[in-house]
Structure 1
């Protein structure tokens, strides 16, 4: 038995579906997303007027919304690189980014991430770039090759996203993306990476055209794909793509990841020579790959209740597939009638055949079905193909939306098949994941009110964008997701902290319940923001000295001691160096020390550290120029009465003295290890003019405020103004998990050189 592999994230852009949620809506509705093309559509796409009038020309194709588009600002690409870069490479880049966001993973933080993916051969380089008399001489053959050859598909994505694991292009024709899933799972089991991305893309080139039907060929005569149906006469090739994120199950559970489902086992083989032609399918080859995947999974074949077929709707392919599947699952024939029923379907009835992306589209459909506990219908299915002889098999076609509920007896199992021209076959055995880590969660059907019931403390939600317009969109998407998901606020907040890139325009808000968060997100003024060009406001860490710490702070300090073990430890460490000093003064000195230590331990790297009076001694300890014991002795002896600042020995700080990188008057965010009063600002103690200065305290100023809320508010300002925080280091009540939240709202622009036309776009 192989170790289970968890699918912890996914992304899809498919015909009539910009994301998996829209895809599921279309599947449930039995929607046919193979577009009917008008003469105007075809001529606009560059079709030959004579060709489209010929008999047998089929005006249909599954199309992808915005096939040329990319958000170059988000991905850091020049305009020329976008124009030259193959559209399939661009699509995979966006899908990998979206899938990682869905999984709450940021490349480069901890894990080694690998990528396995395939794409189709296309003519973008030949028809669009080499044919352009202005652009091609500027780019050159090497530039065109590097931007279009399938060899560079995955390495381009790995370069742009910072993926450091294996980066392997997979080229097995129509089985490419499911072979990629198999390879990713194998790499995880072998320890070659900690996370693996797997999938595939295809953008048909030339794009937006129909095709000529050939009698006896694999393409449908009328532009409809009818898997398993008596009227089936071929498939329809189209555009789209999908990616899944894989991780070893034990690590996924330990890390609190969402689990869409499990890859229990998988197998890949080739039909070899035992078939009529190079492109003919083989019953024996398909039987062997399915049987091997089941053996690797070490599951009872009688437990497989659904199989997502390759299902090309060809007169040869479908009967061969059903026979191979029947032979592989022959153990079903010995079961009781109730245990012998296995539903079969094919997503090609909805979106056509996406070539290298076909297998991952079927896998994503199956994962969605497991989590929604329903099996979508085969779109347009009417009458079973008699050549399948389904009455002699345990299979029945999903001719309507079927319930597929969890059972306390055993987990639901499914199979996903994908077979490519040339005979490379792949099969994956999929099992439902633990309900507690499902994307729908154990709180299925709950609303914000019910999710709020376990809110024990305030949480800090973060979001960011490339510009202010996108920031407002991210905020709206986040509010909508929180309002309808049933996620715990602690999980959602943790995901926004550790599962998203920090972009230049940042915002944050503190909330105690989901409802409060949703309501507050509706008010842009309620969030902590740093408007403008996204330039960071560096942090000045201030130790005000015990004389400037409010007398009522002792209660808040006690609250923080109880809440944060690290804070309590730092306080006790400091107090341990005191002898007969004034007890209150010692406690306040220790609290300031612990507040500063806490902030530094959370990864906040101030640009400078300053202090006055007793605070000067603490600044020296934070700078590494004085040991804590020495600072306590100096305090007891009455020393330490002047402002302190200077180059750090152990912290990357800059002296506030004039003439250095951050001199007097430079704009700064002053983070005070104490309370910030209303009568004066901390920078006034250091000769600053106050221009562009802001201050936040780590202790409340007055009233019955929760001291932890004050700490979170300070962190919100620190992060929103551009200083990163090691969010994983924050103390939390319980263990939060990562939950699926909306991915970034890409601001796509089309980048394309028309076929055989003059150069458009370009530049740098």
Structure 2
């Protein structure tokens, strides 16, 4: 084997994610660290219900003689089978080690900040270590019938294969059993494959469940279990170990990749080695000091480290006299001989018990957390070294201690020795340049911690200015609410920028979506709680179900009147892309002016400044949307908005668009003293009638047809005011536009030749989006947007209500661009009038700043299925956002089986065919792990996705549903039935003879 010391540090394996299910309700890395630092013994008596159903089936020698102490998980049966698309029937018969491994792997990936769907189809590898054959013993117990789902629990290989299958991972899928070193061996193999470039991501699993009492009875007979129920590693009173349960999953990446993705790096796996005891003179089960010494030297050589540089060793530490002695002498001889002080050693087995096949991975996770936090955890139940070890240069910390200060990175070893002599040692090290995590108080007083937290004037998230968008999604609304409920308490105390980054970049974006737009953790948490409870909230957008394929995206650019005093100021301050684009547009505009153009934050004084501000804002918004990954299928603009629309479509360069705006606004500004615009809620015909009725047909015109019930009238000031007063007296809505001019009226005629001359030489081109002209009420090639077009456009009425329907089809999303919303209501009214179901996303209002408004629009786009490819928040080290498992109320998988419903339907005196069909459909949906509404009654089983394994599961469920179906075979099922409805009819016929016999009796 070539030495791994040649691998640069950047190529070493890094632990980026940790997931766990451990005794005492320790279900995440924070809880694991809390347990370690507080030194809590989490073992206890075996719950009576765990083994009682087996006792009558076993030989007396297979049952422990006394109620032994173990480290036992609280919920072994609970499993969210629907999350993984597993039917309740199959889940109920699965090896629970596989069930737990699936959930813990998802949690570890979430901790690493990896969206589950991002690994599908990749060469991600899974390595699992397991040594407990309990499930196989249960499945093959006398009197129990074996089913296909049972067979998957008979072989250890299925532990890794389950993860690879359900997460669609295409790399190596390997389960190893080297007894108590199994998970460590798996980690060694995974680390080697990762560093060799065989995979880019590795999942390493360690699992151990105590399902069968005979194994405990055997260990008790061997005298290796502590008779007092206490594991005391290296202690004078240590008389053996306590068995323990647990599932641990680690996520590994190469350090260089972890750095590139800004992942959290708990620790590096600097080196590792495996070996065997060989023919140990003391016997097959006795430890070999000679082999252990060779192993430690090999691991240090693999890492390129001097053994004396180990700051700490997490020992195998079972608390047996022979095991402790061999391990202590090895460490003293190899790692501690050249030290001036005693080498700290410890073991997690005194907290959780010996988790056997999973123990090496639990030890690794504990050590990685110790390196991350810079604290040596205590080993509870230890008071004094065994007399035979007192002269060795070793010590066992019994209270938390600061990590030893050296000039080197924090370095630790982890040992695991398998029953029968298969051994592994791993070397962990602090990643270079890794910022140490904040060190908690060494004597933890939770009441003091809470008081200190409450005294803080603000959280890190509250110190960050600006709005953040937090997308939340799930496959269903029920799961979405569960996610929101799980996230709310975490978000309340987190850095909001980190939360937003994690939610944007490190979570899958499922179809049922919502988003929170807020500035403080408290506000975001409130919105999440509202989502969880089905309430609305000002900071909440959605929920909504995104279509499988988002429809067309139309950008709609507002015109004059969309300006306001604070326009663009917040986006200019908060968004670099927006600011840079606006400044580039300002420079382009300045080239065609004799003064410095408007900048956000400056007052908008007069018509020309308002026109500049609107165009600059829309141009910066266009650049921002494109930066986030959006591109329009079509664009439409209202009057001035057509200039920004033409640039967004690619028909006008930035300089050409600036030239049009500068010339157009300067000419129109000459008319500012002479007239203006009047917005009304009249349709075009009634507006023209009102104009004629007041004798202004020669001076006033309908300048804009915005909607069936919205028009804009343009003309000289006096007749315009007379019309406004008359309409107001009749209760008709009529409002003047600020900084307005009589655009699109006869007053502009003298300006047209001058505008044509000013724009001579304009070179429009074909764009990458369809430009819909509201002057012509038709789509136009970009090349036609020349000087003549802009002169004609200045006089022609704006026909938005005629043009907008041409841009939209069913499922289209219309996004309004502008300083504030002026067109969204009109667009919604128009498209509703034409019976085109679309989503209109309005620009902001003056109630919230424009940064919030832009993120609200982004949230609405995302919930409508248009997911950005480049989120606003940069990649950051992730925060731990919990997985919201749906475990019901602690019931075992399958407890909510649909078989009883079919039984009830078949057993009635007068069975209802419709009810039977619905019950069969529900049972098929449960078997497939699909929603019941997705089961088409006339579909064949093949079309529904039935595999041979699924058919077996369906057969087993049907057999359980009614006595008459007890002998139903797969052959009969497939031969007699092709559709769901046909199956229902066949089952009714099969059950009928039994029912008739019962009636005759």
CA shift for structure 1 position 362 = 0.8
1:611 paired to 2:636: yes
Stretch moving more, 55-64 or 558-567: 558-567
2:886 to 743, 747, 752: 747
1:317 paired to 2:323: yes
Is the contact made by 1:561 and 1:568 (CA closer than 8 Å) also made in structure 2?
Answer: no
Aligned to 1:8, what secondary structure does the other structure show?
Answer: strand
Cα 1:40–1:256 change in 2 (3 A) is: closer
2:68 to 46, 55, 59: 59
- RMSD, aligned CA: 4.4
Q: Deviations over 1:559-617 (max 9, x none)?
A: 549934378559959997999899987985676466456435534587x6453563875
1:31 to 40, 43, 57: 40
CA shift for structure 1 position 425 = 1.5
- Match for residue 672 of structure 1? 816
Q: How many residues align?
A: 726
- Match for residue 345 of structure 1? 346
Instruction: Give the Cα separation in 2 of the matches to 1:631 and 1:342.
Output: 82
CA shift for structure 1 position 360 = 0.8
Q: Deviations over 1:523-565 (max 9, x none)?
A: 5432424347776795663333453661449952895499343
Stretch moving more, 355-364 or 41-50: 41-50
Is the contact made by 1:47 and 1:209 (CA closer than 8 Å) also made in structure 2?
Answer: no
2:277 to 260, 271, 276: 271
Gaps of 5+ in 1: 647-654
1:718 to 861, 874, 877: 861
Instruction: Give the Cα separation in 2 of the matches to 1:490 and 1:529.
Output: 18
- Match for residue 554 of structure 2? 542
Aligned runs of 1:493-504 on 2, under 5 Å?
493-504=500-511
2:430 to 432, 435, 439: 432
Instruction: Give the Cα separation in 1 of the matches to 2:856 and 2:506.
Output: 20
Richer in helix (by share): 2
Instruction: Give the Cα separation in 2 of the matches to 1:688 and 1:574.
Output: 39
Is the contact made by 2:545 and 2:863 (CA closer than 8 Å) also made in structure 1?
Answer: no
Cα 1:44–1:401 change in 2 (3 A) is: farther
CA shift for structure 1 position 57 = 4.1
1:118 paired to 2:129: yes
CA shift for structure 1 position 86 = 2.1
Q: Deviations over 1:132-180 (max 9, x none)?
A: 87772xx4xxx65456532232232123223344333233222121222
Instruction: Give the Cα separation in 1 of the matches to 2:238 and 2:590.
Output: 86
Cα 1:685–1:587 change in 2 (3 A) is: farther
1:630 paired to 2:783: yes
Normalised to the residue count of structure 1, the TM-score between the two structures is: 0.82
Is the contact made by 1:540 and 1:671 (CA closer than 8 Å) also made in structure 2?
Answer: no
Is the contact made by 2:296 and 2:425 (CA closer than 8 Å) also made in structure 1?
Answer: yes
Instruction: Give the Cα separation in 1 of the matches to 2:483 and 2:409.
Output: 36
Aligned to 2:286, what secondary structure does the other structure show?
Answer: coil
- Match for residue 188 of structure 2? 182
1:404 paired to 2:406: no
1:334 paired to 2:343: no
Stretch moving more, 154-163 or 439-448: 439-448
Q: Deviations over 1:680-711 (max 9, x none)?
A: 2423344556898653345x3336x5433222
CA shift for structure 1 position 496 = 1.3
2:163 to 141, 157, 163: 157
Instruction: Give the Cα separation in 1 of the matches to 2:63 and 2:223.
Output: 17
Aligned to 1:426, what secondary structure does the other structure show?
Answer: strand
CA shift for structure 1 position 276 = 3.5
Instruction: Give the Cα separation in 2 of the matches to 1:88 and 1:411.
Output: 36
Stretch moving more, 584-593 or 173-182: 584-593
- Match for residue 261 of structure 1? 267
Instruction: Give the Cα separation in 2 of the matches to 1:269 and 1:50.
Output: 37
Aligned to 1:748, what secondary structure does the other structure show?
Answer: coil
Instruction: Give the Cα separation in 2 of the matches to 1:638 and 1:341.
Output: 90
Is the contact made by 1:458 and 1:512 (CA closer than 8 Å) also made in structure 2?
Answer: yes
Normalised to the residue count of structure 2, the TM-score between the two structures is: 0.64
Aligned runs of 1:350-365 on 2, under 5 Å?
350-365=351-366
CA shift for structure 1 position 14 = 0.9
Q: Deviations over 1:456-507 (max 9, x none)?
A: 43221233345555544533443432444xx532222101111112234433
Instruction: Give the Cα separation in 2 of the matches to 1:364 and 1:264.
Output: 14
1:194 to 187, 195, 200: 200
Instruction: Give the Cα separation in 1 of the matches to 2:575 and 2:30.
Output: 39
- Match for residue 290 of structure 1? 296
Aligned runs of 1:639-678 on 2, under 5 Å?
663=809, 670-674=814-818, 675-677=820-822
1:172 paired to 2:173: no
Q: Deviations over 1:248-296 (max 9, x none)?
A: 2233233222222222222222223344333332112111221222223
Aligned to 1:70, what secondary structure does the other structure show?
Answer: coil
Cα 1:32–1:683 change in 2 (3 A) is: same
Aligned to 1:194, what secondary structure does the other structure show?
Answer: coil
Is the contact made by 1:465 and 1:474 (CA closer than 8 Å) also made in structure 2?
Answer: yes
Instruction: Give the Cα separation in 1 of the matches to 2:470 and 2:436.
Output: 22
- Match for residue 709 of structure 1? 852
Aligned runs of 1:83-122 on 2, under 5 Å?
83-107=92-116, 109=118, 113-122=124-133
Instruction: Give the Cα separation in 1 of the matches to 2:126 and 2:203.
Output: 5
2:540 to 525, 528, 548: 528
- Match for residue 12 of structure 1? 20
Stretch moving more, 498-507 or 209-218: 209-218
1:280 to 276, 286, 289: 286
Higher relative contact order (CA 8 A, sep 6+): 1
CA shift for structure 1 position 238 = 2.9
Kindly name which structure, 1 or 2, has the bigger radius of gyration based on alpha carbons: 2
Cα 1:44–1:133 change in 2 (3 A) is: closer
Aligned to 1:392, what secondary structure does the other structure show?
Answer: coil
CA shift for structure 1 position 92 = 1.3
Instruction: Give the Cα separation in 2 of the matches to 1:53 and 1:169.
Output: 27
Aligned to 2:244, what secondary structure does the other structure show?
Answer: coil
Aligned to 1:449, what secondary structure does the other structure show?
Answer: coil
Instruction: Give the Cα separation in 2 of the matches to 1:645 and 1:285.
Output: 86
CA shift for structure 1 position 36 = 0.9
Instruction: Give the Cα separation in 1 of the matches to 2:315 and 2:323.
Output: 11
- Match for residue 491 of structure 1? 498
Cα 1:134–1:272 change in 2 (3 A) is: closer
- Match for residue 484 of structure 2? 475
Instruction: Give the Cα separation in 1 of the matches to 2:153 and 2:220.
Output: 34
Is the contact made by 1:346 and 1:378 (CA closer than 8 Å) also made in structure 2?
Answer: yes
- Match for residue 682 of structure 1? 827
Cα 1:740–1:702 change in 2 (3 A) is: closer
CA shift for structure 1 position 98 = 0.3
Instruction: Give the Cα separation in 1 of the matches to 2:331 and 2:403.
Output: 23
2:841 to 681, 696, 704: 696
Stretch moving more, 505-514 or 120-129: 120-129
Gaps of 5+ in 2: 442-448, 594-607, 651-766, 772-779, 904-922, 929-1001
Instruction: Give the Cα separation in 2 of the matches to 1:680 and 1:348.
Output: 66
Is the contact made by 2:809 and 2:837 (CA closer than 8 Å) also made in structure 1?
Answer: no
Instruction: Give the Cα separation in 2 of the matches to 1:105 and 1:475.
Output: 19
Instruction: Give the Cα separation in 1 of the matches to 2:345 and 2:529.
Output: 45
CA shift for structure 1 position 747 = 1.2
Q: Deviations over 1:361-417 (max 9, x none)?
A: 11112223334443333232244323xx3222211122x213124737433322111
